[in-house]
Amino acid sequence: MTETFSRYDTSDYLKTDEDMALYFDACIEDDPGDGSLIRAALRDIARARGMSQLAKDTGISREGLYRALSADGNPEFTTILKVTRALGIKLHAGIA
């Protein structure tokens, strides 16, 4: 008998705004300092919401969003702000 595996996709499990906010907060908390988890979280949330709609809301092309939020991406802070605002996500500051 052959085992089959399906690809795990975080965006499949981000169903509510609360799920997305909690996931984003966790990724901010655990990011190693290079922004990799933050980019991944934004990419996952964007895919859960719909990349095409996000492109319309931000004025950034789908391809540009995929490139900026990719593992190799290095988005400008203005891009991060546009994406978070369009997704309805707030960045929070606190004392560590």
**pLDDT for 33 beyond 80:** yes
Report the pLDDT averaged over residues 26-44: 95
Residue 73, SS3 per DSSP:
coil
The count of other CB atoms within 10 Å of the CB of residue 10 is 15
Residue 76, pLDDT score: 94
Q: For the chain, give me the number of helices (H) and strands (E)? A: 5, 0
Report the pLDDT averaged over residues 16-45: 95
What tokens appear for 56 in the block?
């319309």
Q: What pTM value is reported for the model?
A: 0.87
Report the pLDDT averaged over residues 15-20: 94
**For the chain, which residues make up each domain, given as ranges?**
14-87
Residue 95, pLDDT score: 81
